[in-house]
């Protein structure tokens, strides 16, 4: 296999970043990855300029002048009004190869995953009935539905818990409550972070979501939580399926490389 030389412009400030997981997976697949801060507009010698989020066109314009193919793989909701609302999305659809996680038919879709070294179960005594991991919806207006759901279900909130510490929390929890910005065929990486680290995950109903994720109608989360708390064997059987079905970023990189080879 020919090694591909990526200039990867992203957020590498902590170990618990999606760009870090992807860079690690690319390197495990035998490729070369230069990890460069996304605010750095210096163009390096590489086969591809690769990025998740840029805030201007400087780097892309430089790459185009040098004949270097640009690739964007963004993890936020990308389609329709959400793309048009933010100027920082401009570089994403100006890249030569555009990859999204929201199944927008205009572009290529590669979903998220879990960091392969951390796809493990850390089992423990169940001390939490239901948890929610992430922002509980107090700050942003589009989190109104999430805030209402959390107020009704009253899960234990974990906000800055990542890596194997999250695996441990999930091993101590019966149910992990999910949420994403409502949109067909889109869900956040929370699905993979919960299931791939051993948790049992439920989510508001979304068109296209895998059928091994129990989905409830908005306003009915409490009823589903009650059901699965009362049906432990069914819950545990489905939790195991969720864990087994969860892809790693190593799996996603195979999809990613296939797209690159087909397009260049």
For 52-97, how does the pLDDT look when each residue is reduced to its tens digit (9 = 90+)? Answer: 988 889 999 999 999 999 999 988 776 655 555 455 567 778 899 9
Are 5-113+248-263 and 117-245 in the same CATH fold? yes
Kindly tell me if the per-residue pLDDT of 107 is higher than 90: no
Task: Report helix angle 144-153 to 221-230, nearest 10.
Answer: 40
Higher pLDDT, 213 or 107: 213
- The domain spans of the chain are 5-113+248-263, 117-245
- Of the ranges 6-10, 104-108, 181-185, 197-201, which one carries the lowest mean pLDDT score? 104-108
What percent of the chain shows pLDDT beyond 70? Answer: 92
Higher pLDDT, 206 or 82: 206
State the pLDDT at residue 240.
98
Average pLDDT over residues 168-177: 98
CATH code of the region 117-245: 3.40.50.11660
State the pLDDT at residue 74.
86
State the pLDDT at residue 83.
54
5-113+248-263 CATH pick, 3.40.50.1370, 3.40.50.1970, 3.40.50.2000, 3.10.560.10: 3.40.50.2000
State the pLDDT at residue 2.
86
Which conformational region is residue 163 in: left (phi greater than 0), alpha (psi within -120 to 50 degrees), or beta?
Answer: left
Q: Which residues pair with 37 in a beta bridge?
A: 10
State the pLDDT at residue 53.
86
Mean of pLDDT over the chain? 92
How far apart, in Å, are the Cα atoms of 245 and each of 102, 119, 204, 237?
Answer: 19, 11, 19, 13
Helix (H, G, I), strand (E, B) or coil at 13: coil
Average pLDDT over residues 156-176: 96
What percent of the chain shows pLDDT beyond 90? Answer: 77
State the pLDDT at residue 163.
96
Through-space distance between the first and last CA atoms of the chain, rounded to whole angstroms:
16
State the pLDDT at residue 236.
98
Q: Which residues pair with 215 in a beta bridge?
A: 203
Average pLDDT over residues 150-157: 95
Kindly tell me if the per-residue pLDDT of 249 is higher than 80: yes
Q: What angle do CA 116, 118, 119 make, to 5 degrees?
A: 70
State the pLDDT at residue 197.
98
Kindly tell me if the per-residue pLDDT of 257 is higher than 70: yes
Full-model pTM: 0.92
Q: Which residues pair with 216 in a beta bridge?
A: 204
Higher pLDDT, 172 or 144: 172
């Amino acid at each position: 296999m020919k090694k591909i030389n990526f200039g990867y412009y992203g957020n590498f400030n902590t170990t618990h970043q999606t760009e870090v997981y992807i860079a690690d997976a690319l390197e495990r697949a035998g490729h070369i990855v230069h990890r460069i801060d996304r605010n750095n507009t210096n163009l390096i010698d590489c086969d591809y300029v690769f990025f998740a989020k840029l805030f201007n066109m400087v780097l892309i314009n430089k790459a185009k002048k040098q004949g270097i193919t640009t690739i964007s793989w963004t993890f936020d909701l990308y389609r329709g009004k959400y793309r048009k609302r933010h100027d920082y999305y401009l570089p994403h659809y100006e890249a030569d190869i555009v990859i999204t996680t929201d199944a927008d038919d205009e572009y290529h879709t590669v979903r998220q995953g879990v960091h392969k070294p951390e796809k493990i179960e850390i089992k423990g005594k169940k001390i939490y009935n239901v948890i929610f991991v992430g922002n509980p919806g107090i700050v942003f207006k589009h989190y109104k539905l999430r805030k209402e759901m959390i107020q009704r279900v009253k899960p234990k909130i974990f906000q800055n818990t990542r890596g194997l510490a999250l695996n441990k929390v999930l091993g101590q929890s019966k149910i992990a409550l999910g949420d994403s910005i409502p949109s067909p065929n889109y869900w956040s990486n929370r699905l993979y972070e919960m299931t791939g680290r051993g948790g049992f995950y439920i989510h508001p109903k979304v068109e296209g979501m895998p059928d091994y994720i129990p989905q409830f109608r908005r306003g009915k989360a409490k009823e589903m939580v009650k059901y699965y708390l009362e049906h432990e064997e069914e819950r545990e059987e489905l939790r195991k399926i969720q864990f087994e079905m969860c892809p790693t970023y190593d799996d996603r990189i195979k999809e990613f490389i296939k797209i690159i080879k087909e397009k260049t």
